[in-house]
Structures are given as structure tokens and as C-alpha cells.
Amino acid sequence: MNDQDRMTPLELKSSASLASIYGLRMFGMFSILPILAIYASGLPSRPNSALIGWAFGAFPLAQAIFQLPFGMASDKFGRKNLIYLGLIVFAIGSFIAASAHSIEMIIFGRAVQGAGAVSAAVMALVADSTREEHRTKAMAMIGSTIGVTFALSLIAGPVLNRLIGVPGIFMMTGMLALLAVLVVKFVVPNPAVSMFHSDAEASQARLKEVLNNTQLLRLNFGIFALHAAQMALFIVVPFAIKATGMSENDHWKIYLPVLVTSFVLMVPAIIYAEKRAKMKLVFISAIALMVLAQLMFADLIGSFWGIVISLTAYFIAFNTLEASLPSLISKMAPAATKGTAMGVYNTCQSLGAALGGVVGGYLLHHYGNAAVFVFCSALMCVWLVLSFGMKAPPSVKTKMYHVEGLTESQAIELAAQVGKMLGVQEAVAIAKENTLIVKINNQQSKEAQVAVEQNILKLIGSR
């Protein structure tokens, strides 16, 4: 491996420190999920489940509203400035929720938390801080941090509830956000150049193209439905587990083995899907398992072992789908629209979580546990039907190259030349960003893939 193939120490430092910001923020956000509903139900005003649902939905609703504007504003006002602002707003919301004595103030605090939507600005800073050749590695580092943090926070939430309570968790969340401000200020290196990156940021000019892409719309509905069901689940399941006689402080004893089992079973499925180009088969199978899990919840929610079995099926499906969807977006979105496609995808994820919280709480209050899971089952059935019409995603890997001094005409010519190479699925050169993005067939031999990459480098070097 030569130096060009390695991330520089500065790139590693930037990627790791920005991933830690994601981790700090996500830990505080997710660790509240397993115990918020039970805590809120015990407030002096004894709020109903419908209001508790708003406490769940307020955060992602505000996030859906603010995350794309935050990212776009960072192009104008500076990445770090917008991240500072977002983290401080998030911390203020956390402190409001920590001091709240009513469900209405918790809802308000959660909404303020969500308004500090720094995700898009962080991704843009990652893009500024890494060379094109290594950006995928940096994004993968952040993605894996989010996955691990989610699992750890579900286990840690009940333990922290025993130690410091829900107000303490909100306070801790605010302190973590302020710690993240210090990490951005003193640890994250300042990028040499800050510019727009099509692969990492949303563009207003490309929104129409993304929203008119029916294949991407299927995936966007999928993440919407997946997170609607997730938020609804955490309104119902903690109460159901507690009703079996287990204290909410001990719920980690269920989440730990369930999550470990689901990860062990999910990883081979993802590897099989990628290696054998069977992504559509694995994807549809996971959606079908999710439908089954929701129906199992509806029928078995009153039984301890029924809950455990249903949760295991749910998390196997959830983890498989959560890992597959970003990869599918990357494979199926035109190369020049990837950042915009991911921006729309993330917004749909937040909107789904908001709907799941609000509708889940309403249904639980008026119609009971089973109604919530019937609603989730209906969402999953719609997704299952839509997924059959999905095109099999191309088995490709994306490579990016820096090409200095491109004019518009040169960019068109370069993309055309690379696009004609055997084994190249798609090529686009963006003159304003000095970037060449290439999707290479991942089903050809490793030697053939290396040969394609070498030919691309020779062509770039001969300019």
C-alpha cells in the first residue's frame, strides 16, 4: 500500500474526532429511548400516551425541519460556526428537558434539542477535511460509530436511569453536547479549503431530480416506515416489559442479548448480499421479517418471552435494513446527486420517527398496544409491496479522484472517456469541485478492478 492509499494523520484525526461528535450526541439522544415513556407517565400531571408520543416525536420533527437548512447554511457561514450553534442549541434543549416537571416542557425541550441539527454540517466538514479518495472511509467511520452508539445506548439507558434518572440523562446529554463543542474547537483540524461537495451535501438544484427518482422514493419510504415503527415501539415495549414484573432499570438484560444476537445474524446476511449480488433478495427478506415481527408484537406483547422473541426478530430485521439502506442509496443514486439523495433520505428518516412517535402515542392511548403494531404492520406491508418493484441494485463500488483545473468541457470529455472503460458502470466529472466520481463493477475480479483503477489514474495523469 502506497502513501496515496492511506489516510493522512490529519485526515484520520479529523474523521475520528468528527465521528466522536456524532457518537457523543447520538449516545445522549438514544439512551433516553428505552426509559422516556415510563418516566413521562410518572410525572405529577400523569400525561396520557398521546402526549408522551409527542415527547418522542418532537425531536425528530424539529430535526427534519432544520437539518437541510443547517447544512446549506454551513456553506455560507462556515462549517464550525454552524456546528457550534447546533450543539449549543441541542445542549439548551437538553437542559430544558432536564429541569422539566411537565410533559409539555419535556416536549418543548426535545423540540429545541432537535433544532440543533448538525448532521449535515458535520458531513460537509468531513468532506472538507478528507481527500476524495478517502471520503468513503471517513463516512463509513461515522456510520459505524452511529451503529455502535445506538446499540450501546439502548443497553446503557436503563443502567443510567438507575444511577442518575431521566433528568440526569438529559443533563448528561447537554454536557456531552458542550464537550463536543470543545472537541470541534480544539481537536478537529480546520480544513485548508471549504467548498461544496456533491457527494456529501444536498443541493437545491438537484432536489427535483432526486424527488422524481422512483427507485430512490421507494428507499425513502422505507427509511420513513422503519423509523416510524422504531419510535412507536419504544412507546409501547418498555411498558409491556415492566408489566411482566421487570423493573425499567433492568431492561438492559433483555436488550443486550437481543442486540448481540441480531448483530451476529445480520452480518453474514449483509456479506452474502454484497458478495453474491443478492442485495434485493436479502433486503426484501428483511422487510418480510419486519412485517412478521410487528405481527408477533401485536399477538405476543403480553408475554415476557413473546416480547423477547419479537424483539429478536425485530432487531435482526432492523439492523439488516438500517445497514442496507444507505448502501442502496449510494448504489442507486446518480453519482452527482448522492449528497442530495442522502439529505432527502435523512429528512425522511426524521419525519418517519416523528410520525411514529405521535401516531404511536395516539393509538396506544385510544386503542391499546395491538393497534400500534397493526399500524406498524400496515406500514411495513406497504413497504414490502413497493420493494418488489425495486430494481436490483447494481453491484458497484464508488471511487473518487481529485482532478485539478478542470473546465466544463474537459470534465464532460473526461467522464466520457472513463465511462467507456470496461468495468465502469458510471462516471461523472464535476469541474467546480475538481472531482471525478466513478462507479466500478464490483462483480469482476479484484485484478480487473485494480486494472480499471490504474487505467483511470493513467488517464488523469496524462492530462
Instruction: Tally Cβ neighbours within 10 Å of residue 275.
Output: 11
With CA atoms as reference, report the closest residue to 35 among 60, 55, 58: 55
Kindly tell me if the per-residue pLDDT of 278 is higher than 60: yes
CA distance 461 to 116: 43
> Crossing angle, helix 33-41 and helix 49-77, to 10 degrees?
130
CB 429 within 8 A of CB 411: yes
> Tell me, what's the pLDDT at 75?
87
Which CATH architecture does the domain made up of 202-393 adopt? Up-down Bundle (1.20)
> Tell me, what's the pLDDT at 389?
92
The answer to which of 237-246, 266-275, 311-320 has the lowest mean pLDDT is 266-275
Same fold for the pair 7-192 and 396-461:
no
Question: 416536549: which residue's cell?
Answer: 107
The overall average pLDDT reported for the chain is: 92
2 pLDDT band, cuts 50/70/90, is very low
**Tens-digit pLDDT profile for residues 178-200:** 999 999 999 988 887 888 888 88
Q: CA angle 62-121-79, nearest 5°?
A: 130
31 pLDDT band, cuts 50/70/90, is very high
Give me the percent of the chain exceeding a pLDDT of 70. 99
CB 435 within 8 A of CB 420: no
CB 233 within 8 A of CB 314: yes
CA distance 455 to 461: 10
The per-residue DSSP string of 291-327 comes to HHHHHHHHHHTTSHHHHHHHHHHHHHHHHHHHHHHHH
> Tell me, what's the pLDDT at 229?
97
Q: Where are the domains of the chain?
A: 7-192, 202-393, 396-461
User: What is the mean pLDDT of the segment spanning 270-276?
Assistant: 85
From the options 3.30.70.100, 3.40.640.10, 3.40.50.720, 3.30.70.60, give the CATH code of 396-461: 3.30.70.100
Task: Please tell me what DSSP assigns to residue 3.
Answer: G
With CA atoms as reference, report the closest residue to 318 among 249, 269, 275: 269
- Range picked from 213-227, 319-333, 403-417 for highest mean pLDDT: 213-227
Which residues, in sequence order, are CB contacts of 321 under 8 Å at separation 6+?
222, 226, 283, 286, 287, 290
> Tell me, what's the pLDDT at 4?
56
146 pLDDT band, cuts 50/70/90, is confident
pTM: 0.93
User: What is the mean pLDDT of the segment spanning 66-82?
Assistant: 89
**Tens-digit pLDDT profile for residues 288-317:** 999 999 999 999 999 999 999 999 999 999
Beta bridge partners of 438: 399, 427
Three-state secondary-structure class, residue 441: strand
The answer to which of 2-11, 111-120, 267-276 has the lowest mean pLDDT is 2-11
Kindly tell me if the per-residue pLDDT of 26 is higher than 90: no
98 pLDDT band, cuts 50/70/90, is very high
The answer to which of 207-221, 227-241, 345-359, 440-454 has the lowest mean pLDDT is 440-454
CB 183 within 8 A of CB 17: yes
The answer to which of 53-67, 118-132, 231-245 has the lowest mean pLDDT is 118-132
CA distance 174 to 316: 31
User: What is the mean pLDDT of the segment spanning 228-241?
Assistant: 96
5 pLDDT band, cuts 50/70/90, is low
Task: Please tell me what DSSP assigns to residue 421.
Answer: S
User: What is the mean pLDDT of the segment spanning 435-448?
Assistant: 91
CB 352 within 8 A of CB 376: no
Kindly tell me if the per-residue pLDDT of 237 is higher than 60: yes
| Radius of gyration of the chain, Cα coordinates, nearest whole angstrom | 23
1 pLDDT band, cuts 50/70/90, is very low
Q: What is the CATH number of domain 7-192?
A: 1.20.1250.20
User: What is the mean pLDDT of the segment spanning 15-29?
Assistant: 84
- Integer angstrom CA distances of residue 376 from 103, 135, 238, 370, 446: 25, 36, 17, 10, 42
